[in-house]
C-alpha cells in the first residue's frame, strides 16, 4: 500500500459535521493525519464525491444465517416464536459445508460493505462436520469466514463460541446441535490458533453462547484461561423472557446479575448481546462494570424477543453497539431506525433517543455516535473513526440519492437514518483501500453466482 490523501467537503468528527476535512492514511492502513478547515487542499489529493462518514462495526453476526434470511416467515401451528424459528436454524445449519459457508459469507460481506459496515464480529459456533466430528483442521469453518472476508475486503473479529449443552436442565447437546460443540479449553485453543496464524484483517476474541448453553464450571474455566486476555468476550444474555425465567430457576439469579457476581465479574472486555430483558438493577450493574451491550433490533423484532430499555441504556456510559445477527436486515440505518421506532411505539412519543438537555437534539446523531464508539469496543479496537491511529475506514455519502436531494448539511445524518431507503452510500474504504466505488464491488457478480449456487444446493429439498 501507498499513502492516501483524501479531502471531504464535510466529514463526521467528534459527533458533528466538520467542514473541509483533509484525511491522510499511511501505508499501514491507519489514519496518520486528520485536519479540518482545509479550504485549499493539495493538488494531489483525492476529492471525495460527497460527505464522509466513518465506517461502522457490525458487532453481532451469524454469517451462515444469511442462507435463510426471510425464509422462515410462515406459521403452520397456532403460535410461532423464537423457539420455533430455532428449529429452522438447526435444519439449515445441519446442511452447510465450508465452501457453501464461504460463498454465503462472501455475499453477506459485500452486502454489509455496501451499506457501510466495515468490520464484523462473527459470533461463530458452526464448527464441526455434520455428524459432529472434527474437521482435519478444527478451524476449517473459521477459515471459510476468513477467506470470505479476504475476498471481499471486509475485516473480522472471529469469536469462537463455548457451546456444550441444550439447556439449563440438560448435560449434553441435542443431536441437531452436535456441530456446535466446543468446551472452554477448545474455545481458548481456537482463539489462540487464530491469533497465532493472524490472517490478514482478522483478529480473535472469545464468546459464550448463553448461560443455558454453557455450564457454570465451563464458564469459570474460560474465565481462568482468559485471566490476562485483553480481547473482547461476547455472550447472548436475557434475549427471551423464558430464558430469564429458566435462569432464575436454575441459578437463582437473573442472567446479567449472575454473570456480574461470578468469578471476576464483568469488565470492559464483556459485551452482552441483546440484554432485551435486563432489569434496571442489572443495567446499573453493567454500567458500573464497564461492560458493553450489543443491540440487534431488527432481529429482536423478527424473533419476537421484546424491546430493550433504550433510554435506560443511553442514560449510562455503557458502550452500545449494533449487529445484524440473523441477517434478516443488513443495514445499520435500519438498526438505528428500529432502535428508535420500537421506543416510539411503546411510549407513543417521538425522538426518544434525543437529549436536548445534553446538547444532543438529533436522535440520529446521538445513536450514531454511541454505536460508532461502542462497536469499536465490541470488536477490540481502542481507536475508531476519523482520528490519528484509527483504521482508515470511510464512507462517502451519495448526495444525488433521491432521499438526500436538497437536505441541509446540518440535517444530513437525520435524513440518512430516517428518510426513505435508497443507495445512500457511494464509496466504501476499509483500511485505506476502496472496496466499493460508485456503488459497485469488483467481485460482486462472481460472488453472487457462487451464493446462488450454494442456495440452490441448500434449498433443493427445502427445510420444513
395-405 pLDDT, tens digit per residue, is 999 999 999 99
Q: Which of 60, 234, 274, 441 is catalytic?
A: 274
Identify whether 325 is a catalytic site residue: yes
pLDDT > 90? residue 387: yes
Give me the pLDDT at residue 2, please. 74
Please answer whether residues 161 and 180 qualify as being in contact, where contact means their C-beta atoms are separated by less than 8 angstroms.
yes
Residue 233's H or E segment, with its range, is: strand 233-237
CATH fold group of domain 4-54+391-444: Urease, subunit C; domain 1 (2.30.40)
Alpha carbon 427 to its chain centroid, in Å, reads 20
CA torsion 298-257-245-168 (nearest 10°) is 100
User: Beta strands 56-61 and 425-430: pairing type?
Assistant: unpaired
- SS3 (DSSP) at 359: coil
Query: Which range has the worst mean pLDDT, 86-95, 224-233, 382-391?
Result: 86-95
pLDDT > 80? residue 81: no
348-362 per-position pLDDT tens digit: 999 999 999 999 999
Please answer whether residues 106 and 451 qualify as being in contact, where contact means their C-beta atoms are separated by less than 8 angstroms.
yes
**HSE of 86, CA atoms in CB hemisphere, 13 A:** 10
Tell me the average pLDDT across 280-299.
98
Identify whether 274 is a catalytic site residue: yes
Give me the pLDDT at residue 28, please. 96
Give me the pLDDT at residue 78, please. 81
Tell me the average pLDDT across 371-381.
98
Give me the pLDDT at residue 293, please. 98
Phi and psi of 277, rounded to 5°? Answer: -110, 40
Q: Residue 7 is placed in which grid cell?
A: 479531502
Distance CA 405, CA 425 (A): 14
User: What percentage of the chain has pLDDT greater than the value 90?
Assistant: 92
Tell me the average pLDDT across 211-231.
97
Distance CA 304, CA 300 (A): 6
- SS3 (DSSP) at 307: coil
Please answer whether residues 23 and 386 qualify as being in contact, where contact means their C-beta atoms are separated by less than 8 angstroms.
yes
Q: Where are the domains of the chain?
A: 4-54+391-444, 56-379
Q: Which of 305, 309, 325, 427 is catalytic?
A: 325
Tell me the average pLDDT across 118-141.
97
pLDDT > 60? residue 264: yes
Tell me the average pLDDT across 228-251.
97
38-77 per-position pLDDT tens digit: 999 999 999 999 999 999 999 999 999 999 999 888 888 8
**Alpha helix positions (H), 212-356:** 216-225, 241-251, 255-261, 280-289, 297-302, 310-314, 332-347
In the block, residue with C-alpha cell 447472548: 236
Class of domain 56-379: alpha beta
427-453 per-position pLDDT tens digit: 999 999 999 999 999 999 999 999 999
pLDDT interval class at 152 (50, 70, 90): very high
Average pLDDT over the chain reads 95
What pTM value is reported for the model? Answer: 0.97
Query: Which range has the worst mean pLDDT, 62-76, 115-129, 279-293, 366-380?
Result: 62-76
Residues belonging to the chain: 464
pLDDT interval class at 462 (50, 70, 90): low
Give me the pLDDT at residue 1, please. 63
Sequence-ordered list of residues with C-beta below 8 angstroms from that of 356, at least 6 positions apart, any chain: none
Cα distances (Å, whole numbers) of residue 78 to 75, 83, 160, 289: 8, 14, 36, 42
Amino acid at each position: 500500500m501507498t499513502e492516501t490523501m483524501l479531502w471531504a467537503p464535510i466529514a463526521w468528527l467528534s459527533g458533528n459535521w466538520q467542514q473541509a476535512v483533509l484525511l491522510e492514511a499511511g501505508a499501514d492502513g491507519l489514519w496518520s493525519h486528520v485536519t479540518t478547515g482545509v479550504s485549499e487542499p493539495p493538488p494531489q489529493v483525492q476529492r471525495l464525491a460527497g460527505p464522509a462518514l466513518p465506517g461502522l462495526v457490525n458487532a453481532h453476526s451469524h454469517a451462515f444465517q444469511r442462507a435463510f434470511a426471510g425464509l422462515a416467515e410462515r406459521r403452520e401451528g397456532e403460535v410461532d416464536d423464537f423457539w420455533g424459528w430455532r428449529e429452522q436454524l438447526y435444519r439449515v445449519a445441519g446442511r452447510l459445508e465450508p465452501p457453501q459457508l464461504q460463498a454465503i459469507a462472501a455475499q453477506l460481506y459485500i452486502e454489509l460493505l455496501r451499506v457501510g459496515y466495515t468490520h464484523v464480529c462473527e459470533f461463530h459456533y458452526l464448527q464441526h462436520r455434520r455428524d459432529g466430528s472434527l474437521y482435519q483442521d478444527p478451524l476449517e469453518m473459521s477459515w471459510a469466514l476468513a477467506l470470505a472476508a479476504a475476498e471481499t475486503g471486509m475485516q473480522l473479529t472471529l469469536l469462537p463460541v463455548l457451546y456444550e449443552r441444550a439447556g439449563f436442565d440438560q448435560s449434553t447437546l441435542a443431536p441437531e446441535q452436535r456441530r456446535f460443540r466446543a468446551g472452554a479449553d477448545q474455545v481458548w485453543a481456537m482463539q489462540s490458533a487464530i491469533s497465532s496464524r493472524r490472517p490478514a484483517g482478522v483478529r480473535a476474541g472469545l464468546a459464550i453462547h448463553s448461560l443455558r448453553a454453557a455450564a457454570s464450571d465451563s464458564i469459570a474455566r474460560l474465565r481462568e484461561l482468559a485471566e490476562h486476555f485483553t480481547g473482547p468476550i461476547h455472550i447472548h444474555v436475557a434475549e427471551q423472557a423464558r430464558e430469564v425465567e429458566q435462569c432464575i430457576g436454575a441459578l437463582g439469579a437473573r442472567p446479567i446479575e449472575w454473570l456480574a457476581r461470578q468469578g471476576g465479574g464483568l469488565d470492559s472486555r464483556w459485551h452482552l448481546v441483546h440484554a432485551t430483558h435486563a432489569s434496571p438493577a442489572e443495567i446499573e450493574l453493567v454500567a458500573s462494570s464497564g461492560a458493553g451491550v450489543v443491540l440487534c433490533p431488527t432481529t429482536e423484532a423478527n424473533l419476537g424477543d421484546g424491546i430493550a430499555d433504550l433510554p435506560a441504556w443511553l442514560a449510562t456510559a455503557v458502550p452500545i453497539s449494533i449487529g445484524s445477527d440473523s441477517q434478516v436486515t443488513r443495514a445499520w440505518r435500519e438498526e438505528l431506525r428500529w432502535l428508535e421506532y420500537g421506543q416510539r411505539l411503546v411510549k407513543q412519543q417521538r425522538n426518544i433517543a434525543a437529549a436536548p438537555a445534553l446538547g444532543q437534539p438529533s436522535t440520529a446523531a446521538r445513536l450514531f455516535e454511541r454505536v460508532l464508539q461502542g462497536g469499536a469496543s465490541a470488536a477490540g479496537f481502542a481507536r475508531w473513526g476519523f482520528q490519528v491511529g484509527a483504521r482508515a475506514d470511510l464512507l462517502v455519502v451519495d448526495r444525488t440519492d433521491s432521499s438526500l436531494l436538497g437536505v441541509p448539511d446540518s440535517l444530513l445524518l437525520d435524513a440518512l437514518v430516517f428518510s426513505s431507503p435508497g443507495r445512500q452510500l457511494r464509496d466504501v474504504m476499509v483500511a485505506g483501500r476502496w472496496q466499493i466505488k460508485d456503488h459497485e464491488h469488483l467481485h460482486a457478480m462472481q460472488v453472487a453466482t457462487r451464493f446462488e449456487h450454494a442456495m440452490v444446493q441448500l434449498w433443493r429439498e427445502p427445510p420444513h
